[in-house]
Amino acid sequence: MRIVSSASSLQSRNCGASRSYSGALRQATSDKISAVQAKQLLQALQSVLHDPLFGKLSPGTIAGVHTALTPLADLLDAAPKKRKHPIHTANKHGVFTDCEVIRAQAPRNRSGSSPAEICLAQPEEGTWIFSTSLGIGSVYTGSLPSLHEFTATFPTRGQALRAAVSEITRLMDNPKTRAAKEAKGVHEWLNKLYAMPDPDWTEEMADAAKGVS
């Protein structure tokens, strides 16, 4: 079965998480940057530094990022390396039971399981789909990736991951989950995932996302 890519929906899927991430930076109204905001800004700059297209930025921007981060080199994570990802095979029902699972490192829910999970599957080289699970308070929703249920495909693991983050962010935006004890940890996990650089992103993909031929 050939899966047709529909990554053009990426921006709309990611806007929810983007608002969540930028909103976290605007939480404090004082003219001082809090420790949490400083950490988020450091993560954002680190993502810029580790972006595979960093060298395509203007010389001034490159120099500014290096100037800001060089004194903090000991605090930075290692740049993620591009690696070969396995091809996942669906079972006879079209469900990817053997897929990559990323679990929130947050307080366990009442059932003792992770409150949020993201499942990623690559049915074909350069074609990714995802599913999400959320179990907080009285809310539970989740499934494994399936050939019969995905609504979009993505060219890289990183882009599928960001779309999954956006979906969970939307699910978290309701009264039944906001007050849950696990909510804070899940949001911190989502913000960290959303800011991760995508080592598989290419200039051609960037042009395609912008509609440049």
pLDDT digits (tens, 9 = 90+) for 145-183: 999 888 799 999 999 999 999 999 999 988 888 888 888
Q: Please give the average per-residue pLDDT across 78-99, as a whole number.
A: 88
pLDDT band at 7 (very low <50, low <70, confident <90, very high): very low
pLDDT confidence of residue 211: 66
pLDDT confidence of residue 212: 53
Q: Please give the average per-residue pLDDT across 41-69, as a whole number.
A: 76
Helix (H) or strand (E) holding 37: helix 35-50
Answer yes or no: is pLDDT of 23 > 90: no
Q: Report yes or no: 180 and 136 within 8 Å, Cβ to Cβ.
A: yes
Rounded CA-CA distance 77/146 in Å is 33
pLDDT confidence of residue 12: 45
pLDDT confidence of residue 55: 67
pLDDT confidence of residue 117: 96
pTM of the model: 0.68
Torsions phi, psi for 122 (to 5 deg): -120, 90
